[in-house]
Amino acid sequence: MRLSRRTLLTSSAAGAAIAVPSAGWAETRRHATVTSDPFTLGVASGDPTPDGVVLWTRLAVDPLAEDGMGGMPDASLDVKWEVSTSKRFNRRVASGTEEASPEWGHSVHIELDDLEPDTKYYYRFKTGRWVSATGTTRTAPAAGDMPESLTMAFASCAQYEHGFFNAYRRLAETKPDLVLHLGDYQYEYTKNTYVSPDGNVRDHEGPETTTLAGYRQRHAQYKADEDLQAAHAVAPWLVVFDDHEVDNNWADEVYEHPEIPQPDFLARREAAFRAYWENMPLRRSSLPSGIDMLAYRRIQWGQLANFHMLDTRQYRDDQACGDGAQTDCAEASDPERTITGQEQEDWLLDGLHESEQRWDVIGQQVFFSRRDSIAGDSERVSMDAWDGYQGSQERITQGMIDSGALNPVVLTGDVHRHWASEIKSDWDDPDSAGVGVELVCSSITSGGNGTDEVPSDHNDLKVNPHIKFRNSQRGFVTTLITPDQLDVDFQVVPRVTSVDSAVHIRRSYSVASGDRTLHETYDRPVDESSIQSDETYNPETADDLL
């Protein structure tokens, strides 16, 4: 991989900033300028380490251009970047110049190292007379240090048509140290294919995303949203994709409806991965190669936490019994079936065994805990979740036990509602030993406004006593992680069909270190004005479009 010759550091404090090149593509030899603001997609940072972080931007003067090139010239632009410990940039610690090339959608990825651990930094970009917004980022603590606390938020599932990204704005206002996005960052559908029960309030531009131009355009439409930009600019992100970044419910090389010929699916997957990398603050290690992209990785936050980020799409077996929610599907219990692939499963189990951190946080996409939707001896579960891959589910659960990991925590997106669950050593025995907890965030917008509800009255909680909470409003989850305790707030916004909406905490839990059980600390009364028929939930079809 050719390293850019244009990265010029002006401070030794930044050590070896690495700028990702146009690997495998023809070099662009011309350099251009633009006459209008190209920083319409904001800035972002991600994958922090004790000595560095990734800085990202992508240039686009016309984000919705049909060719996916954002109205940019077919030439490279020089983009300057700088990092400072002050907002005024009068204490600059690193700077350089990088080439934004059309081969990679005029995206810029700067990998910094040799920064100070556990330190807040400000960064920005410039090309010509145009200057980007300022982003805030931070490095992780030194490997041997035990920080007093970490504020972390996580989110998933933002369907642009279904509502406004109020929840992203409110997430930014909590000023977390770290943000995890667990998938469905964008949706592939052409407009009005996936309609919210409350009606779509915005339109997707372009056809269903199947080409590189289409995915670039769709990412740009989402990134142009100012609320999403605010969430990116407030803290470093750890991102992983789920299905809608490619195609609903895809599994490895199998697309959603194999009964309908889609001969170009692998080309579609390659284009989707390429556009995803171009639009995310990811390291060079995740640079796609054809249809493959290494997305699973581990980020250490001192001695406080390990973040094991999983990919449950690229290596999974096809969903059992025709996908969807199925009753008594024998194939789902086949121990040979896998949702992670063997190599990633071994990597995760090895990471749990080798961990010396207080908390082991597994960031992933689909429901991990058993979630049966019918009472009695029969079992109806989602084939798209870990229930459809019970061999994987059992091996990872046993691995949490065998590793001696003190505090396993699974973070999940996908299902468009908040859930809190205790992971049990035996799902059929409510009194069996607790292994860890699973926290599931609702969607940012997907499914429309949703509804408040009386959680204890819901069938899912009665059939699954290890599940303690369920709420169908939109929102995100904030956490405070300390050596002794994990505090969890399920944040909700009442309406996403309004341009602006306040946020409030619907329920809170604490998990004491070593306890592995959920302790409710706050429950807001049901908002009677928000109760409506929960049209987004039907156990027969609930997972069809998730």
Look at residue 193 in the predicted model and tell me its pLDDT. Answer: 97
pLDDT of 3 reads: 29
Q: Report DSSP letters for 344-409, one per residue.
A: HHHHHHHHHHH--SSEEEEE-SS--S----S-SSS-EEETTSGGG-HHHHHHHHHHHHHHT-S-EE
Q: What is the mean pLDDT of the chain?
A: 92
Residue 365 φ then ψ, to 5°: -100, -45
Tokens 């983009």 sit on residue: 79
Domain 1-143 and domain 152-530, same fold? Reply is: no
Percent pLDDT > 70 in the chain is 91
* pLDDT of the residue at 507: 97
Which residue is associated with the tokens 């409710």? 520
Strand partners, 107: 58
The angle at the Cα of 66, spanning 57 to 280, to the nearest 5 degrees, equals: 25
Task: Tell me what the mean pLDDT of segment 419-446 comes to.
Answer: 97
* Residues 6+ positions from 501 with CB-CB distance below 8 Å: 164, 166, 493, 494, 495
Look at the chain and count its residues: 546
pLDDT tier at 27, thresholds 50, 70, 90:
very low
pLDDT tops 50 at residue 316: yes
- Whole-number Cα distances in Å, 239 to 182, 339, 413, 524: 6, 19, 12, 30
Domain ranges of the chain: 1-143, 152-530
Report which residue type is found at 311. Answer: D
Mean pLDDT over 96-100 rounds to 97
What does the alpha-carbon distance between residue 306 and residue 478 come to, in Å, rounded to a whole number? 17
Average pLDDT rounded to a whole number, residues 314-342: 97
- Its CATH architecture, for the domain 1-143, is Sandwich (2.60)
Interior angle at CA 274, CA 271 and CA 277, nearest 5: 150
pLDDT-derived band at 545, boundaries 50, 70, 90: low
pTM, whole model, 2 decimals? 0.94
- CA-closest candidate to residue 345, choices 315, 319, 365: 315
Give the torsion sign (CA, 222, 223, 226, 232).
positive
**What are 167-201's pLDDT values in tens digits?**
999 999 999 999 999 999 999 999 999 999 999 99
Q: What CATH number has the domain spanning 152-530?
A: 3.60.21.70
Instruction: Please say if the pLDDT value at position 531 is more than 70.
Output: no
Query: Taking 70 as the threshold, does the pLDDT of residue 108 lie above it?
Result: yes
Q: Find the angle CA(482)-CA(182)-CA(410) to the nearest 5 degrees.
A: 45
What angle in degrees, to the nearest 10, is found between the helix axes of 342-354 and 390-403? Answer: 20
Q: What pLDDT, on a 0 to 100 scale, did the predictor assign at position 338?
A: 98
